[in-house]
Structure 1
Amino acid sequence: MRAVVVGGGVAGAAGAIALRRIGAEVTVHEAYGEPAGPVGSFVSLAANGLRALAVLGCLPQVRAAGFALPWQRMWSSAGRSLGEVARGRARGDEMVSVTLMRADLVAALRAEAVRLGARIVTGSRFDAARVRACLDGDGVDLIVGADGMWSGVREVLDPEAPRPVYGGMYSVSGISHVDGLGVDVGTFNMIFARRGAFLYLGAPDGSVWWSAQVSGPCPVDVHAVGIDDLIDIYRTEERAVEILRATRRIHGATLHHVLARVPRHHGDRLVLIGDAAHPVGAGQGASMALEDAIALAQHLHAEGVVASPVVASPVERALDGYERQRRARVDKMVREATRNRDVKTAGPIARRMRNVIMPVVFPRVYEGATSWLHGYDPGSLPAWTPGSLPARPPGSPPARTSSSSPAPTLGTPRA
């Protein structure tokens, strides 16, 4: 099977790994000159995302590039504790949440994809017209749309699909060095501020990574938002102001967009993964993209379409199975993300109610309420050894996988 992956970010690089693991020939097209690049801020991977990385063979590399965050603390605007829980996991789960720069996550995934024989072409933009031309050409069996929220592949798949709209928030992230404030290493902190939320965490090198998530009814030029502007926005949150004043650099300014439910995630030779299909937010975008990549490869492998991609019905069955498996889970995650966003943008009455109820309820219900998310087991992919997946020369017949290849295990909830 010849697969073209459009987009070389988290979803695209993970998709390339998973497809190579089942024997597909994979070319990734990335619009930017450097797939990792200085794009985005830091990302956190909860237990479900880490288990997906283990399946893809990248967990040690990602852990080495980031640092562990075992705990999460929530704070009111006035600095009152609203509760502490295990971060992104059940309390006894060994998969302790990891935070790292998005570029480092992409770099680790890309390196593994290349090691497995995937080809990554940078500076290669795939707009809707190029997707159509690729479909009309000869030799491509599958196009994987991993090109994010503004996906050109989604436009080709369904011209009537919803378009992203501003979601009422924007974020600016940065790194500070704050002495004497007692910012614990290994703890993720979230302040429910009067205008959105302020996230901060202590890194092992003594720096403080932060992200200001500001609620606002209208889009702004995020690149024009400076430290003085943020200090004024968070003037009632003392800890946020102290961290902002110690900022050494700003990065990752972005508007938050939302996307209505995408009706179709696949066609006969087109399939969407990651934010192209479901930009979930709530810190789960990367993890959901990793899960998608594994599930897609599992269904293609189970139907045998890597060996015989010219047979249409198994491809359609594989893509149908992929969408059925993922749809309910990502729809539930999108609903959770909406509630998460609503909590951050709550009005004064809702904030007061939250500050009273949360210290009592949050520590008691968090683990049980999120077990469906963090306890997910992504299953397995066939093992890979050097030389087991030879790339075929251009124009040669489709490569056939060995019938002795171990069958993958499809993802299921662990709990």
Structure 2
Amino acid sequence: MNVIVIGGGVAGAASAIALRRIGVEVTVYEAYAEPAGQVGSFLSLASNGLRVLRSLDVLEQVQEAGIDVPDQRMWSSSGRLLGDVPRGRLCGDKLHSVTLMRGALVEALRAKALATGAVIVTGERLVDAVTTEEGVRAVFASGRMAEASLLLGADGVWSATRSLLDSNAPTPEYAGLYSISGIADGIETEAGIFNMTFARNGAFIHLAAPGGRVWWSAQVACPAQPELSLTDEEWLRRLAGLYRHEQAPSAILGATTELHRPTLMHRLDAIPVRHNDRIALLGDAGHPVGAGQGASMALEDALVLAQSLAAEPSVAAALSAYEAARSARIAKMVKAASDNRDAKTTGPLARQMRDLVMPVAVRLFYEKATAWLYTHDCGELPTSRTGGDSQVRSA
């Protein structure tokens, strides 16, 4: 059996590892020349995603590339502590959340995929996918064609695979938030704490990073889609004005030495078709969630899909089993992500109510409310049967 994976990011690289572990031949086609490296900002992995990394035998590499973040504190705009909880886990779980640059995570996963014998081809953009009697044929913008038993769309929120699978598939819409992040120096910040401030104009996240630096991210509430072509100096001036009421964010912005490219945050209506008999979607291509769970959900997808292929008698049966195993959990996560996004765009009265209720709610209900998410364990794959030479090719 051979599989084509479209997209070499987190979902694509993780699925390549999982599929090689069950003996499947895998070729990953990535549109960008280099999808890893210093691309994007930081992301977090919760305990459910870290268990998948352990099953894929890449947990230690990811932990070494990131920051151990055992705890999370939530703050009001005035600086009042609203909640102090374990970060991405339940109390007592020794598998601490890891925060790392997206590029570092992709690099670790790609290295593992190559070590297991996956082939990665860069600079190839999918333009068509045709189901045949034997499987599926992928057509790329360069004119290259490839055939396989199965095609997996792991190509993100703007997935080309999704629209080829279903011409009526929904398209992403701006969600009323944009994100911009950076690095500050000279700000004293307690290590191991993921700080989230519910500011007047959106959430502000910061944590201590190696070398006395602070990683930060502003998730700005903005009903109208903003113009993204401002200079770094213009962005910092804008953010300084937006967060002038919040002491910690204001100080961090004033000490910023490096700014990352701003990105729009999107929502996507429920996707009615996530697979047919030969094509399936993984990660953000099938269900963009955010809320600190985008990467972890993509990792879960990769593992469960490989388990389904190993257990079922045909590709069609495996994809049906994969959908059955993931649909309810994904639907619940999408709802949680929507609630999370709404909490960052509330008005003055809603903010006051949240500041009153949240300390009590966190203390009494946090563990019960998040157990379904953080205690989830996708299990293991069959014993590895793979090996082989790593191969990276450019179009």
Regarding TM over 0.5, the answer is: yes
Alignment partner of 1:269 is 2:278: yes
Report the AA paired with residue 164 of structure 1: P
1:129–1:135: structure 2 CA closer, same or farther, 3 Å change rule?
Answer: closer
Alignment partner of 1:59 is 2:34: no
Q: Which of 165, 170, 180 does residue 172 from structure 1 map onto?
A: 180
Q: Aligned partners of 2:107, 2:228: CA distance in 1, in Å? A: 26
Structure 1 counterpart SS, 2:211: coil
Structure 1 counterpart SS, 2:91: coil
Q: Aligned partners of 2:211, 2:376: CA distance in 1, in Å? A: 32
Matches within 5 A, 1:128-167: 128=128, 134-135=137-138, 139-167=147-175
Structure 1 counterpart SS, 2:33: coil
Indicate if the aligned counterparts of 2:267 and 2:288 stay in contact, CA closer than 8 A.
yes
Q: Give how far 1:268 is off.
A: 1.3
Matches within 5 A, 1:290-369: 290-304=299-313, 314-369=314-369
Structure 1 counterpart SS, 2:219: strand
1:323–1:247: structure 2 CA closer, same or farther, 3 Å change rule?
Answer: same
Q: Aligned partners of 1:173, 1:135: CA distance in 2, in Å? A: 36
Tell me which residue corresponds to 1:5: 5
Alignment partner of 1:383 is 2:383: yes
Tell me which residue corresponds to 1:124: 124
Matches within 5 A, 1:103-252: 103-128=103-128, 134-135=137-138, 139-179=147-187, 182-224=188-230, 226-252=235-261
Q: Give how far 1:221 is off.
A: 2.3
1:198-230 CA distance string (max 9 Å, x none): 000111321100000000111112342511110
- The structure with the largest strand share of the pair is 2
Q: Give how far 1:385 is off.
A: 5.7
Tell me which residue corresponds to 2:287: 278
Q: Give how far 1:98 is off.
A: 0.4
Tell me which residue corresponds to 2:298: 289
Indicate if the aligned counterparts of 1:44 and 1:99 stay in contact, CA closer than 8 A.
yes
Structure 2 counterpart SS, 1:134: strand
Indicate if the aligned counterparts of 2:181 and 2:216 stay in contact, CA closer than 8 A.
yes
Count of residue pairs the alignment pairs up: 379
Q: Give how far 1:134 is off.
A: 2.4
1:343–1:208: structure 2 CA closer, same or farther, 3 Å change rule?
Answer: same
Indicate if the aligned counterparts of 1:39 and 1:252 stay in contact, CA closer than 8 A.
no
Indicate if the aligned counterparts of 1:172 and 1:222 stay in contact, CA closer than 8 A.
no
Q: Give how far 1:129 is off.
A: 6.5
Matches within 5 A, 1:17-28: 17-28=17-28
Report the AA paired with residue 204 of structure 2: F
Q: Aligned partners of 2:152, 2:357: CA distance in 1, in Å? A: 44
1:65-88 CA distance string (max 9 Å, x none): 001111100001011111100111
Any stretches of 5+ residues in structure 2 without a counterpart?
Answer: 140-144, 391-395
Structure number with higher relative contact order (C-alpha < 8 Å, ≥ 6 residues apart): 2
Structure 2 counterpart SS, 1:107: helix
Indicate if the aligned counterparts of 1:40 and 1:252 stay in contact, CA closer than 8 A.
yes
Q: Aligned partners of 1:223, 1:49: CA distance in 2, in Å? A: 34
Structure 2 counterpart SS, 1:205: helix
Q: Give how far 1:362 is off.
A: 1.1
Matches within 5 A, 1:42-57: 42-57=42-57
Tell me which residue corresponds to 1:99: 99
Identity of aligned residues (%): 55
Indicate if the aligned counterparts of 2:180 and 2:217 stay in contact, CA closer than 8 A.
yes
Report the AA paired with residue 303 of structure 2: I
1:122-150 CA distance string (max 9 Å, x none): 11111346999825877411100000011
Q: Aligned partners of 2:228, 2:76: CA distance in 1, in Å? A: 25
Q: Aligned partners of 2:216, 2:79: CA distance in 1, in Å? A: 16
Q: Aligned partners of 1:89, 1:252: CA distance in 2, in Å? A: 29
Indicate if the aligned counterparts of 2:20 and 2:386 stay in contact, CA closer than 8 A.
no
Indicate if the aligned counterparts of 1:170 and 1:222 stay in contact, CA closer than 8 A.
no
For the aligned residues, what is the CA RMSD?
1.8
Indicate if the aligned counterparts of 1:174 and 1:249 stay in contact, CA closer than 8 A.
yes
1:149-185 CA distance string (max 9 Å, x none): 1111111111001100000000100000134xx4111
Tell me which residue corresponds to 2:393: none
Report the AA paired with residue 330 of structure 1: I
Normalising by structure 2, report the TM-score.
0.92
Report the AA paired with residue 196 of structure 2: M
Q: Aligned partners of 1:171, 1:239: CA distance in 2, in Å? A: 18
Tell me which residue corresponds to 1:402: none
Q: Aligned partners of 2:10, 2:112: CA distance in 1, in Å? A: 12
Any stretches of 5+ residues in structure 1 without a counterpart?
Answer: 305-313, 392-415
1:96-123 CA distance string (max 9 Å, x none): 0000000000000000000000000111
Alignment partner of 1:72 is 2:72: yes
Indicate if the aligned counterparts of 1:55 and 1:380 stay in contact, CA closer than 8 A.
yes
